[in-house]
Chain A
Protein backbone atom coordinates (compact mmCIF):
# COMPACT_ATOMS: atom_id res chain seq x y z
CA UNK A 1 0.00 0.00 0.00
CA UNK A 2 2.63 2.46 1.19
CA UNK A 3 5.09 1.29 -1.42
CA UNK A 4 2.61 1.83 -4.18
CA UNK A 5 2.01 5.36 -3.09
CA UNK A 6 5.71 6.12 -3.01
CA UNK A 7 6.16 4.65 -6.46
CA UNK A 8 3.37 6.89 -7.71
CA UNK A 9 5.00 9.87 -6.17
CA UNK A 10 8.27 9.05 -7.85
CA UNK A 11 6.60 8.72 -11.17
CA UNK A 12 4.85 12.07 -10.84
CA UNK A 13 8.05 13.69 -9.68
CA UNK A 14 9.90 12.36 -12.72
CA UNK A 15 7.17 13.54 -14.98
CA UNK A 16 6.43 16.96 -13.46
CA UNK A 17 9.39 18.29 -11.50
CA UNK A 18 12.61 16.77 -12.75
CA UNK A 19 11.89 17.42 -16.41
CA UNK A 20 11.88 21.13 -15.60
CA UNK A 21 15.15 20.94 -13.76
CA UNK A 22 18.08 21.77 -15.97
CA UNK A 23 21.70 21.18 -15.23
CA UNK A 24 23.12 24.20 -17.01
CA UNK A 25 26.65 25.07 -17.95
CA UNK A 26 26.65 27.64 -15.15
CA UNK A 27 25.88 24.98 -12.56
CA UNK A 28 28.64 22.80 -13.90
CA UNK A 29 31.09 25.67 -13.68
CA UNK A 30 30.11 26.46 -10.16
CA UNK A 31 30.66 22.90 -9.03
CA UNK A 32 33.99 22.77 -10.79
CA UNK A 33 34.99 26.02 -9.12
CA UNK A 34 34.09 24.67 -5.71
CA UNK A 35 36.10 21.52 -6.35
CA UNK A 36 39.23 23.29 -7.55
CA UNK A 37 38.86 26.08 -5.04
CA UNK A 38 41.55 26.01 -2.45
CA UNK A 39 39.99 25.90 0.94
CA UNK A 40 41.40 28.41 3.32
CA UNK A 41 40.96 27.97 7.00
CA UNK A 42 40.05 30.77 9.36
CA UNK A 43 43.58 31.41 10.48
CA UNK A 44 44.88 31.74 6.93
CA UNK A 45 42.19 34.26 6.00
CA UNK A 46 42.80 36.20 9.15
CA UNK A 47 46.54 36.34 8.61
CA UNK A 48 46.07 37.41 5.00
CA UNK A 49 43.71 40.23 6.01
CA UNK A 50 46.03 41.42 8.71
CA UNK A 51 49.12 41.23 6.56
CA UNK A 52 47.43 43.33 3.92
CA UNK A 53 46.38 45.86 6.53
CA UNK A 54 49.91 46.67 7.63
CA UNK A 55 49.45 49.48 5.14
CA UNK A 56 46.17 51.34 5.25
CA UNK A 57 43.47 50.19 2.83
CA UNK A 58 39.79 50.50 2.17
CA UNK A 59 37.51 47.47 2.25
CA UNK A 60 37.34 47.51 -1.54
CA UNK A 61 41.12 47.46 -1.99
CA UNK A 62 41.33 44.65 0.54
CA UNK A 63 38.76 42.48 -1.28
CA UNK A 64 40.60 42.73 -4.59
CA UNK A 65 43.95 41.96 -2.98
CA UNK A 66 42.53 38.97 -1.12
CA UNK A 67 41.14 37.65 -4.38
CA UNK A 68 44.48 37.99 -6.06
CA UNK A 69 45.92 35.97 -3.21
CA UNK A 70 43.48 33.23 -4.14
CA UNK A 71 41.15 33.71 -1.23
CA UNK A 72 37.69 33.55 -2.71
CA UNK A 73 35.65 33.46 0.50
CA UNK A 74 34.46 36.98 -0.19
CA UNK A 75 33.45 36.38 -3.79
CA UNK A 76 29.80 37.29 -4.24
CA UNK A 77 29.92 38.06 -0.54
CA UNK A 78 32.02 41.18 -0.33
CA UNK A 79 29.80 42.79 2.28
CA UNK A 80 30.82 40.19 4.83
CA UNK A 81 34.37 41.51 4.77
CA UNK A 82 33.08 44.66 6.45
CA UNK A 83 31.67 42.56 9.27
CA UNK A 84 35.16 41.22 9.90
CA UNK A 85 36.74 44.67 9.59
CA UNK A 86 34.27 46.18 12.03
CA UNK A 87 34.82 43.34 14.48
CA UNK A 88 38.58 43.79 14.27
CA UNK A 89 38.16 47.51 14.83
CA UNK A 90 35.99 46.79 17.85
CA UNK A 91 38.64 44.43 19.22
CA UNK A 92 41.03 47.34 19.09
CA UNK A 93 43.52 45.89 16.60
CA UNK A 94 42.58 48.21 13.74
CA UNK A 95 42.47 51.95 13.53
CA UNK A 96 40.38 53.62 10.91
CA UNK A 97 40.07 56.99 9.30
CA UNK A 98 37.58 58.58 6.94
CA UNK A 99 39.03 60.28 3.92
CA UNK A 100 37.57 61.94 0.85
CA UNK A 101 34.52 60.46 -0.90
CA UNK A 102 33.41 58.67 2.28
CA UNK A 103 36.27 56.20 1.93
CA UNK A 104 37.04 54.51 5.23
CA UNK A 105 40.64 53.33 5.53
CA UNK A 106 41.74 50.59 7.88
CA UNK A 107 45.19 49.89 9.24
CA UNK A 108 46.67 47.68 11.94
CA UNK A 109 47.59 49.52 15.11
CA UNK A 110 50.33 48.52 17.53
CA UNK A 111 48.17 45.86 19.16
CA UNK A 112 47.19 44.53 15.76
CA UNK A 113 50.79 44.16 14.63
CA UNK A 114 51.53 42.26 17.83
CA UNK A 115 48.62 39.90 17.21
CA UNK A 116 49.73 39.38 13.61
CA UNK A 117 53.22 38.39 14.73
CA UNK A 118 51.73 35.90 17.16
CA UNK A 119 49.48 34.42 14.47
CA UNK A 120 52.30 34.18 11.94
CA UNK A 121 54.35 32.18 14.42
CA UNK A 122 51.65 29.66 15.25
CA UNK A 123 48.75 29.97 12.83
CA UNK A 124 47.20 26.69 13.91
CA UNK A 125 46.90 27.50 17.56
CA UNK A 126 43.20 27.96 17.80
CA UNK A 127 42.78 31.49 18.96
CA UNK A 128 39.37 31.83 20.49
CA UNK A 129 39.22 35.49 19.56
CA UNK A 130 39.85 34.56 15.94
CA UNK A 131 36.79 32.37 15.77
CA UNK A 132 34.80 35.11 17.37
CA UNK A 133 35.89 37.62 14.79
CA UNK A 134 35.22 35.41 11.79
CA UNK A 135 31.99 33.83 12.93
CA UNK A 136 30.52 36.30 15.36
Chain B
Protein backbone atom coordinates (compact mmCIF):
# COMPACT_ATOMS: atom_id res chain seq x y z
CA UNK B 1 0.00 0.00 0.00
CA UNK B 2 2.85 2.36 0.88
CA UNK B 3 4.84 1.21 -2.11
CA UNK B 4 4.01 4.16 -4.32
CA UNK B 5 4.62 6.69 -1.61
CA UNK B 6 7.92 5.12 -0.63
CA UNK B 7 9.16 4.98 -4.19
CA UNK B 8 8.17 8.64 -4.64
CA UNK B 9 9.96 9.71 -1.47
CA UNK B 10 12.99 7.57 -2.30
CA UNK B 11 13.27 9.23 -5.69
CA UNK B 12 13.09 12.70 -4.13
CA UNK B 13 15.62 11.75 -1.48
CA UNK B 14 18.03 10.14 -3.94
CA UNK B 15 18.54 13.59 -5.49
CA UNK B 16 19.39 15.29 -2.19
CA UNK B 17 22.97 15.03 -1.04
CA UNK B 18 22.67 16.36 2.49
CA UNK B 19 21.60 13.73 4.99
CA UNK B 20 19.90 16.26 7.26
CA UNK B 21 17.97 17.84 4.40
CA UNK B 22 16.81 14.42 3.24
CA UNK B 23 15.31 13.71 6.63
CA UNK B 24 13.27 16.88 6.98
CA UNK B 25 12.21 17.12 3.34
CA UNK B 26 10.95 13.57 3.63
CA UNK B 27 8.95 14.25 6.80
CA UNK B 28 7.46 17.42 5.32
CA UNK B 29 6.34 15.63 2.14
CA UNK B 30 5.05 12.73 4.23
CA UNK B 31 2.83 15.13 6.08
CA UNK B 32 1.56 16.63 2.83
CA UNK B 33 0.76 13.20 1.40
CA UNK B 34 -1.13 12.28 4.55
CA UNK B 35 -3.25 15.40 4.33
CA UNK B 36 -4.08 14.92 0.64
CA UNK B 37 -4.87 11.28 1.27
CA UNK B 38 -7.17 12.16 4.15
CA UNK B 39 -8.95 14.61 1.85
CA UNK B 40 -9.62 11.96 -0.79
CA UNK B 41 -10.65 9.37 1.80
CA UNK B 42 -13.19 11.86 3.05
CA UNK B 43 -14.43 12.25 -0.54
CA UNK B 44 -15.16 8.56 -0.53
CA UNK B 45 -12.16 7.10 -2.33
CA UNK B 46 -10.70 3.80 -1.23
CA UNK B 47 -7.43 3.67 0.70
CA UNK B 48 -5.42 2.66 -2.39
CA UNK B 49 -7.03 5.18 -4.68
CA UNK B 50 -6.53 7.99 -2.22
CA UNK B 51 -2.89 7.08 -1.78
CA UNK B 52 -2.35 6.97 -5.54
CA UNK B 53 -4.06 10.30 -6.03
CA UNK B 54 -1.96 11.90 -3.32
CA UNK B 55 1.30 10.69 -4.85
CA UNK B 56 0.30 11.65 -8.39
CA UNK B 57 -0.64 15.15 -7.33
CA UNK B 58 2.88 15.70 -6.10
CA UNK B 59 4.48 15.88 -9.53
CA UNK B 60 7.87 14.75 -10.72
CA UNK B 61 9.96 13.48 -7.81
CA UNK B 62 13.28 13.82 -9.63
CA UNK B 63 12.84 17.49 -10.48
CA UNK B 64 11.53 18.25 -6.99
CA UNK B 65 14.52 16.48 -5.49
CA UNK B 66 17.00 18.22 -7.77
CA UNK B 67 15.64 21.65 -6.95
CA UNK B 68 15.57 20.98 -3.22
CA UNK B 69 19.11 19.67 -3.39
CA UNK B 70 20.25 22.93 -4.94
CA UNK B 71 18.70 24.77 -2.00
CA UNK B 72 19.99 22.55 0.76
CA UNK B 73 23.54 21.89 -0.31
CA UNK B 74 25.85 22.45 2.65
CA UNK B 75 27.36 25.87 2.19
CA UNK B 76 30.83 27.18 2.81
CA UNK B 77 31.04 30.75 4.01
CA UNK B 78 33.77 31.97 1.71
CA UNK B 79 33.65 35.49 3.13
CA UNK B 80 34.55 34.40 6.67
CA UNK B 81 37.04 31.89 5.33
CA UNK B 82 38.82 34.51 3.21
CA UNK B 83 38.92 37.02 6.06
CA UNK B 84 40.29 34.31 8.36
CA UNK B 85 43.00 33.41 5.84
CA UNK B 86 43.80 37.08 5.24
CA UNK B 87 44.18 37.73 8.98
CA UNK B 88 46.43 34.70 9.44
CA UNK B 89 48.59 35.76 6.49
CA UNK B 90 48.88 39.30 7.80
CA UNK B 91 50.14 37.77 11.03
CA UNK B 92 52.96 36.17 9.07
CA UNK B 93 54.12 39.38 7.50
CA UNK B 94 56.65 40.40 10.15
CA UNK B 95 58.49 37.12 9.77
CA UNK B 96 59.35 37.93 6.19
CA UNK B 97 61.24 41.08 6.87
CA UNK B 98 61.75 41.32 10.58
CA UNK B 99 65.30 40.41 11.25
CA UNK B 100 65.14 39.40 14.83
CA UNK B 101 62.12 37.22 14.58
CA UNK B 102 63.50 34.82 12.01
CA UNK B 103 66.41 32.65 12.85
CA UNK B 104 65.00 31.36 16.09
CA UNK B 105 62.31 28.90 17.03
CA UNK B 106 59.68 31.65 17.00
CA UNK B 107 58.91 31.43 13.30
CA UNK B 108 58.72 27.65 13.25
CA UNK B 109 56.27 27.69 16.12
CA UNK B 110 54.22 30.38 14.47
CA UNK B 111 53.90 28.32 11.30
CA UNK B 112 52.88 25.25 13.28
CA UNK B 113 50.34 27.24 15.33
CA UNK B 114 48.74 28.76 12.26
CA UNK B 115 48.50 25.39 10.49
CA UNK B 116 46.91 23.81 13.57
CA UNK B 117 44.57 26.80 13.86
CA UNK B 118 43.47 26.48 10.23
CA UNK B 119 42.90 22.76 10.73
CA UNK B 120 40.83 23.35 13.85
CA UNK B 121 38.61 25.90 12.08
CA UNK B 122 38.07 23.69 9.03
CA UNK B 123 37.55 20.62 11.21
CA UNK B 124 34.93 22.43 13.26
CA UNK B 125 33.09 23.32 10.05
CA UNK B 126 32.32 19.66 9.40
CA UNK B 127 31.15 18.97 12.94
CA UNK B 128 27.42 19.34 13.33
CA UNK B 129 27.26 21.95 16.09
CA UNK B 130 23.67 21.04 16.90
CA UNK B 131 24.96 17.91 18.59
CA UNK B 132 26.34 20.19 21.31
CA UNK B 133 22.95 21.71 22.07
CA UNK B 134 21.94 19.34 24.84
CA UNK B 135 25.40 18.84 26.30
CA UNK B 136 25.49 22.04 28.35
CA UNK B 137 26.26 20.19 31.56
CA UNK B 138 29.13 18.26 30.04
CA UNK B 139 30.80 21.44 28.81
CA UNK B 140 30.20 23.14 32.14
CA UNK B 141 31.88 20.24 33.95
CA UNK B 142 34.83 20.19 31.54
CA UNK B 143 35.32 23.93 31.88
CA UNK B 144 35.21 23.76 35.68
CA UNK B 145 37.59 20.82 35.68
CA UNK B 146 40.05 22.72 33.51
CA UNK B 147 39.97 25.71 35.85
CA UNK B 148 40.44 23.48 38.90
CA UNK B 149 43.42 21.79 37.25
CA UNK B 150 44.83 25.24 36.48
CA UNK B 151 44.32 26.19 40.10
CA UNK B 152 45.97 23.17 41.68
CA UNK B 153 48.56 22.15 39.13
CA UNK B 154 49.73 25.33 37.45
CA UNK B 155 53.51 25.27 37.34
CA UNK B 156 54.27 28.65 35.84
CA UNK B 157 53.09 32.09 36.67
CA UNK B 158 53.69 34.81 34.19
CA UNK B 159 52.51 38.30 35.04
CA UNK B 160 50.16 36.97 37.65
CA UNK B 161 48.53 34.53 35.22
CA UNK B 162 48.79 30.92 36.30
CA UNK B 163 49.73 28.60 33.47
CA UNK B 164 50.29 24.94 32.97
CA UNK B 165 53.37 24.31 30.92
CA UNK B 166 53.72 20.93 29.25
CA UNK B 167 56.71 20.85 26.95
CA UNK B 168 56.49 23.81 24.65
CA UNK B 169 52.72 24.15 25.02
CA UNK B 170 51.33 26.46 27.63
CA UNK B 171 47.77 25.94 28.78
CA UNK B 172 46.16 28.95 30.35
CA UNK B 173 42.77 29.74 31.75
CA UNK B 174 41.67 31.25 28.44
CA UNK B 175 41.09 27.66 27.31
CA UNK B 176 38.16 27.36 29.70
CA UNK B 177 36.25 30.08 27.84
CA UNK B 178 35.13 27.90 24.88
CA UNK B 179 33.82 25.23 27.26
CA UNK B 180 31.74 27.68 29.26
CA UNK B 181 30.65 29.32 26.04
CA UNK B 182 29.23 26.03 24.74
CA UNK B 183 27.75 25.35 28.17
CA UNK B 184 25.81 28.62 28.25
CA UNK B 185 24.64 28.18 24.66
CA UNK B 186 23.25 24.80 25.66
CA UNK B 187 21.63 26.08 28.86
CA UNK B 188 20.13 29.22 27.37
CA UNK B 189 18.53 27.48 24.38
CA UNK B 190 16.72 25.09 26.73
CA UNK B 191 13.26 26.11 27.79
CA UNK B 192 13.61 24.10 30.99
CA UNK B 193 16.59 26.06 32.27
CA UNK B 194 15.65 28.08 35.34
CA UNK B 195 16.98 31.43 36.45
CA UNK B 196 18.12 30.10 39.86
CA UNK B 197 20.18 27.49 38.04
CA UNK B 198 21.79 30.29 36.10
CA UNK B 199 22.62 32.24 39.28
CA UNK B 200 24.24 29.26 41.01
CA UNK B 201 26.14 28.07 37.95
CA UNK B 202 27.29 31.56 37.08
CA UNK B 203 28.49 32.45 40.57
CA UNK B 204 30.32 29.17 40.98
CA UNK B 205 32.09 29.42 37.61
CA UNK B 206 32.97 33.08 38.18
CA UNK B 207 34.52 32.09 41.49
CA UNK B 208 36.59 29.45 39.72
CA UNK B 209 37.74 32.02 37.19
CA UNK B 210 38.57 34.42 39.97
CA UNK B 211 40.78 32.02 41.91
CA UNK B 212 42.50 30.32 39.01
CA UNK B 213 42.43 32.58 36.01
CA UNK B 214 43.63 35.91 34.82
CA UNK B 215 41.52 39.02 35.23
CA UNK B 216 41.28 39.13 31.44
CA UNK B 217 39.71 35.68 31.23
CA UNK B 218 37.24 36.57 33.96
CA UNK B 219 36.41 39.79 32.16
CA UNK B 220 35.81 38.01 28.84
CA UNK B 221 33.77 35.34 30.61
CA UNK B 222 31.47 37.73 32.45
CA UNK B 223 30.91 39.99 29.46
CA UNK B 224 30.23 37.01 27.21
CA UNK B 225 27.70 35.46 29.59
CA UNK B 226 25.96 38.76 30.32
CA UNK B 227 25.52 39.40 26.61
CA UNK B 228 24.38 35.92 25.69
CA UNK B 229 21.70 35.78 28.37
CA UNK B 230 19.68 38.42 26.50
CA UNK B 231 19.17 35.89 23.70
CA UNK B 232 17.98 33.21 26.14
CA UNK B 233 14.39 32.24 26.87
CA UNK B 234 14.28 34.23 30.11
CA UNK B 235 12.08 37.29 30.39
CA UNK B 236 13.96 40.53 29.86
CA UNK B 237 12.81 41.91 33.19
CA UNK B 238 14.07 38.85 35.07
CA UNK B 239 17.41 39.12 33.33
CA UNK B 240 17.74 42.80 34.20
CA UNK B 241 16.99 42.16 37.89
CA UNK B 242 19.36 39.20 38.17
CA UNK B 243 22.21 40.92 36.36
CA UNK B 244 21.68 44.01 38.51
CA UNK B 245 21.90 41.93 41.66
CA UNK B 246 25.04 40.15 40.46
CA UNK B 247 26.59 43.47 39.56
CA UNK B 248 25.95 44.86 43.05
CA UNK B 249 27.48 41.74 44.53
CA UNK B 250 30.50 42.12 42.27
CA UNK B 251 31.08 45.71 43.33
CA UNK B 252 31.07 44.64 46.98
CA UNK B 253 33.42 41.86 46.11
CA UNK B 254 35.59 44.24 44.17
CA UNK B 255 36.34 46.22 47.30
CA UNK B 256 37.60 43.05 48.97
CA UNK B 257 39.61 42.04 45.93
CA UNK B 258 41.17 45.48 45.78
CA UNK B 259 42.75 44.83 49.13
CA UNK B 260 44.25 41.54 47.99
CA UNK B 261 45.23 42.22 44.43
CA UNK B 262 48.91 42.12 43.46
CA UNK B 263 50.69 45.45 43.60
CA UNK B 264 51.43 45.71 39.89
CA UNK B 265 47.79 44.94 39.02
CA UNK B 266 46.50 47.66 41.29
CA UNK B 267 49.18 49.83 39.82
CA UNK B 268 47.98 49.19 36.29
CA UNK B 269 44.41 49.99 37.12
CA UNK B 270 45.50 53.17 38.81
CA UNK B 271 47.66 54.10 35.90
CA UNK B 272 44.72 53.46 33.61
CA UNK B 273 42.66 55.95 35.53
CA UNK B 274 45.52 58.39 35.41
CA UNK B 275 47.63 57.35 32.42
CA UNK B 276 49.98 60.27 32.42
CA UNK B 277 51.05 59.67 35.98
CA UNK B 278 54.71 60.63 36.05
CA UNK B 279 55.82 57.73 38.19
CA UNK B 280 54.30 55.28 35.75
CA UNK B 281 55.83 56.98 32.77
CA UNK B 282 59.36 56.82 34.02
CA UNK B 283 59.18 53.28 35.27
CA UNK B 284 57.10 51.50 32.67
CA UNK B 285 56.23 51.22 29.06
CA UNK B 286 53.33 53.61 29.28
CA UNK B 287 50.67 55.21 27.22
CA UNK B 288 52.67 58.31 26.40
CA UNK B 289 55.46 56.19 24.97
CA UNK B 290 52.96 54.12 22.99
CA UNK B 291 51.37 57.17 21.45
CA UNK B 292 54.75 58.60 20.69
CA UNK B 293 55.81 55.44 18.84
CA UNK B 294 52.50 55.31 17.07
CA UNK B 295 52.75 58.86 15.76
CA UNK B 296 56.33 58.34 14.72
CA UNK B 297 55.43 55.43 12.43
CA UNK B 298 53.96 57.57 9.64
CA UNK B 299 52.03 56.23 6.69
CA UNK B 300 54.55 53.65 5.60
CA UNK B 301 56.36 52.78 8.81
CA UNK B 302 59.94 52.76 9.97
CA UNK B 303 60.85 49.31 8.68
CA UNK B 304 63.11 48.80 11.62
CA UNK B 305 62.96 48.06 15.29
CA UNK B 306 66.49 48.88 16.18
CA UNK B 307 66.03 52.33 17.65
CA UNK B 308 62.99 51.57 19.76
CA UNK B 309 62.29 48.77 22.12
CA UNK B 310 58.73 47.56 22.40
CA UNK B 311 58.03 44.97 25.12
CA UNK B 312 55.79 42.02 24.25
CA UNK B 313 56.09 43.02 20.61
CA UNK B 314 54.57 39.78 19.38
CA UNK B 315 51.79 39.41 21.88
CA UNK B 316 50.07 42.26 23.67
CA UNK B 317 51.74 45.06 21.75
CA UNK B 318 51.74 43.38 18.37
CA UNK B 319 49.50 46.09 16.94
CA UNK B 320 51.94 48.77 18.01
CA UNK B 321 54.99 46.95 16.75
CA UNK B 322 53.30 46.23 13.42
CA UNK B 323 52.24 49.82 13.04
CA UNK B 324 55.70 51.06 13.93
CA UNK B 325 57.24 48.75 11.39
CA UNK B 326 54.75 48.96 8.52
CA UNK B 327 52.99 52.26 9.09
CA UNK B 328 49.46 53.57 9.44
CA UNK B 329 48.28 52.27 6.09
CA UNK B 330 49.06 48.73 7.12
CA UNK B 331 47.48 49.28 10.54
CA UNK B 332 44.29 50.50 8.88
CA UNK B 333 44.18 47.46 6.58
CA UNK B 334 44.72 45.15 9.53
CA UNK B 335 41.96 46.79 11.55
CA UNK B 336 39.65 46.69 8.55
CA UNK B 337 40.13 42.95 8.02
CA UNK B 338 39.69 42.20 11.72
CA UNK B 339 36.57 44.36 12.00
CA UNK B 340 35.07 42.84 8.87
CA UNK B 341 35.23 39.44 10.59
CA UNK B 342 32.93 40.69 13.35
CA UNK B 343 30.64 42.47 10.87
CA UNK B 344 30.34 39.25 8.92
CA UNK B 345 29.40 37.30 12.06
CA UNK B 346 26.77 39.91 12.92
CA UNK B 347 25.37 39.68 9.41
CA UNK B 348 25.07 35.89 9.59
CA UNK B 349 23.54 36.05 13.07
CA UNK B 350 20.84 38.43 11.88
CA UNK B 351 19.53 35.92 9.37
CA UNK B 352 19.37 33.06 11.85
CA UNK B 353 16.00 32.23 13.25
CA UNK B 354 16.67 29.67 15.91
CA UNK B 355 17.82 30.36 19.46
CA UNK B 356 20.79 28.04 19.54
CA UNK B 357 22.52 29.33 16.40
CA UNK B 358 21.87 32.90 17.47
CA UNK B 359 23.35 32.24 20.92
CA UNK B 360 26.43 30.65 19.38
CA UNK B 361 27.03 33.55 17.03
CA UNK B 362 26.37 36.18 19.70
CA UNK B 363 28.84 34.45 22.02
CA UNK B 364 31.48 34.14 19.29
CA UNK B 365 30.97 37.78 18.41
CA UNK B 366 31.48 38.88 22.02
CA UNK B 367 34.60 36.80 22.70
CA UNK B 368 36.11 38.06 19.46
CA UNK B 369 35.11 41.70 19.93
CA UNK B 370 36.41 41.90 23.51
CA UNK B 371 39.81 40.76 22.32
CA UNK B 372 39.87 43.13 19.36
CA UNK B 373 38.51 46.19 21.15
CA UNK B 374 40.50 45.37 24.29
CA UNK B 375 43.81 44.98 22.53
CA UNK B 376 43.48 48.08 20.38
CA UNK B 377 41.89 49.91 23.30
CA UNK B 378 44.96 49.17 25.41
CA UNK B 379 46.99 51.19 22.96
CA UNK B 380 44.41 53.88 22.46
CA UNK B 381 44.17 54.28 26.20
CA UNK B 382 40.58 53.36 26.93
CA UNK B 383 41.35 49.87 28.15
CA UNK B 384 43.64 48.93 31.05
CA UNK B 385 46.97 47.30 30.28
CA UNK B 386 46.36 43.59 30.66
CA UNK B 387 47.11 40.41 28.85
CA UNK B 388 44.81 40.52 25.90
CA UNK B 389 45.86 39.39 22.49
CA UNK B 390 44.98 40.67 19.06
CA UNK B 391 42.94 37.91 17.38
CA UNK B 392 44.86 35.86 14.78
CA UNK B 393 47.85 38.22 14.92
CA UNK B 394 49.33 37.88 18.39
CA UNK B 395 51.87 35.14 18.84
CA UNK B 396 50.75 32.29 21.06
CA UNK B 397 49.17 28.90 20.75
CA UNK B 398 46.18 29.42 23.04
CA UNK B 399 44.90 32.65 21.45
CA UNK B 400 45.20 31.19 17.94
CA UNK B 401 43.45 28.01 19.03
CA UNK B 402 40.66 29.98 20.70
CA UNK B 403 40.02 32.19 17.68
CA UNK B 404 40.27 29.29 15.24
CA UNK B 405 37.60 27.58 17.34
CA UNK B 406 35.41 30.68 17.11
CA UNK B 407 35.78 30.84 13.32
CA UNK B 408 35.07 27.12 13.15
CA UNK B 409 31.77 27.66 14.98
CA UNK B 410 30.78 30.39 12.51
CA UNK B 411 31.62 28.16 9.55
CA UNK B 412 29.71 25.26 11.07
CA UNK B 413 26.61 27.36 11.73
CA UNK B 414 26.72 28.87 8.25
CA UNK B 415 27.18 25.49 6.61
CA UNK B 416 23.95 24.23 8.14
CA UNK B 417 21.95 27.41 8.14
CA UNK B 418 19.47 26.10 5.61
CA UNK B 419 19.21 22.73 7.24
CA UNK B 420 17.91 23.75 10.57
CA UNK B 421 14.47 22.43 11.29
CA UNK B 422 13.67 25.07 13.88
CA UNK B 423 12.03 23.99 17.12
CA UNK B 424 13.34 20.52 16.51
CA UNK B 425 16.38 20.95 18.71
CA UNK B 426 16.44 18.71 21.68
CA UNK B 427 16.39 20.53 24.96
CA UNK B 428 18.18 19.78 28.17
Interface string of B389-428 (1 = CB under 8 A from A): 0000000000000000000000000000010011110000
Residue from B56, B68, B70 within 8 A of A82 (CB atoms): B68
Query: Can you name the residue of chain A whose Cβ is closest to the Cβ of B63?
Result: A80
Residues B351-398 near A (CB distance < 8 A)? 351, 353
Instruction: Verify B421–A98 contact, CB threshold 8 A.
Output: yes
Tell me which residues across on chain A come within 8 A of B60, comparing CB atoms.
Answer: 77, 79
Of the listed stretches B29-37, B80-88, B132-140, name the one at the interface; the rest are far from the partner chain.
B29-37
* B415–chain A nearest beta-carbon distance, Å: 14
Chain B interfacial residues counted at CB < 8 A:
32
Most buried by B among A77, A101, A102: A102
Q: Mark B183-221, 1 if CB is under 8 A from A, else 0.
A: 000000000000000000000000000000000000000
Complex contact A136–B67 (CB within 8 A)? yes
- Does B27 make an interface contact (CB < 8 A)? yes
B287 within 8 A of A: no
B63 contacts which chain A residues (CB < 8 A)? 80
Assess whether A87 is in contact with B71, with CB atoms less than 8 Å apart. yes
Q: Quick check: A92 and B351 within 8 Å, CB to CB?
A: yes
Which single residue of chain A is at the shortest CB-CB distance from B54? A78
| A-side contacts of B59, CB under 8 Å | 76-80
Q: Are B58 and A101 in contact (CB under 8 A)?
A: no
Q: Given A60-B31, A86-B72, A97-B423, are A79 and B418 also a contact pair (CB < 8 Å)?
A: no
Instruction: Determine how close the nearest CB of chain A comes to the CB of B89; give it in whole angstroms.
Output: 32
In the complex, the number of residue pairs spanning A and B with C-beta atoms less than 8 Å apart equals 77
**A72-117 residues at the B interface, CB under 8 angstroms:** 75-80, 82-83, 86-87, 89-90, 92, 95-99, 101-104, 109
Interface bits B11-42 vs A (CB < 8 Å: 1, else 0): 01000000000001101111110111000000
Residue of A whose beta carbon sits closest to that of B67: A83
Task: Give the shortest distance, in Å, between A106 (CB) and chain B (any CB).
Answer: 10
Cβ B353 vs Cβ A79 within 8 A: no
CB B16 to nearest CB in A, in angstroms, measures 11
Nearest CB in chain B: distance from A17 CB, A: 27
**How many angstroms from the CA of A63 to the CA of B33 in the assembled complex?**
12
State how many angstroms separate the Cβ of A72 from the closest Cβ of chain B.
12
A136 to B72, CA, bound (A): 13
Q: Does A123 contact B (CB under 8 A)?
A: no
CB atoms of A79 and B29 under 8 A apart: yes
Kindly state the separation between the CA atoms of A83 and B70 in the bound complex, as whole angstroms. 10
Minimum distance in angstroms from B51 CB to a CB of chain A: 15
Instruction: Judge whether B57 is part of the interface by a CB distance below 8 angstroms.
Output: yes
A43-70: which have CB < 8 Å to B?
A: 58-60, 63
Complex interface: chain B residues within 8 A of A104 (CB) = 24, 28, 31, 421
CA distance A15 to B385 in the complex (A): 97
A60 and B71: CB pair below 8 A? no
- Contact yes or no, B32 A78, CB < 8 A: yes
Interface size on A, residues (CB 8 A): 28
Partner of A80 from B34, B67, B423 at Cβ < 8 Å: B67
Question: A92-B351, A102-B31 given as contacts; is B421 within 8 A of A79 (CB)?
Answer: no
Give the chain B neighbours of A98 by CB distance below 8 A.
421-424
From known contacts A86-B68, A97-B422, A98-B422, infer whether A103 and B31 are also in contact, taking CB-CB under 8 Å: yes
Cα distance A58–B33 when bound, in Å?
12
Q: Complex formed: what's the CA distance from A96 to B422 in Å?
A: 7
Q: How far is the CB of B191 from chain A (nearest CB, A)?
A: 14
Asked whether, in the complex, the Cβ of B71 is within 8 Å of the Cβ of A86, the reply is yes
Q: CA A55 – CA B257 in complex, angstroms?
A: 56
Which residues on A sit within 8 Å (CB–CB) of B418? 86, 89-90
CB distance from B55 to the nearest CB of A (A): 10
B61 at the A/B interface (Cβ < 8 Å)?
yes
Complex Cα–Cα for A109 and B58 (A): 27
Residues in B neighbouring A87, C-beta threshold 8 A: 71
The reply to whether the CB of B346 lies closer than 8 angstroms to some CB of chain A is: no
**Can you show 23 pairs from A to B with CB atoms below 8 A apart?**
A59-B28, A76-B56, A76-B59, A77-B58, A77-B59, A78-B32, A79-B29, A79-B61, A79-B64, A80-B59, A80-B67, A82-B28, A83-B67, A86-B71, A89-B418, A92-B351, A95-B353, A95-B422, A96-B422, A98-B423, A98-B424, A104-B28, A136-B67
With A58-B35, A80-B67, A101-B31 given, can you name 8 additional A-B contacts, CB distance below 8 Å?
A77-B58, A78-B58, A78-B59, A79-B59, A83-B71, A103-B31, A104-B31, A136-B67
Q: Chain A: residues with CB nearer than 8 A to chain B?
A: 58-60, 63, 75-80, 82-83, 86-87, 89-90, 92, 95-99, 101-104, 109, 136
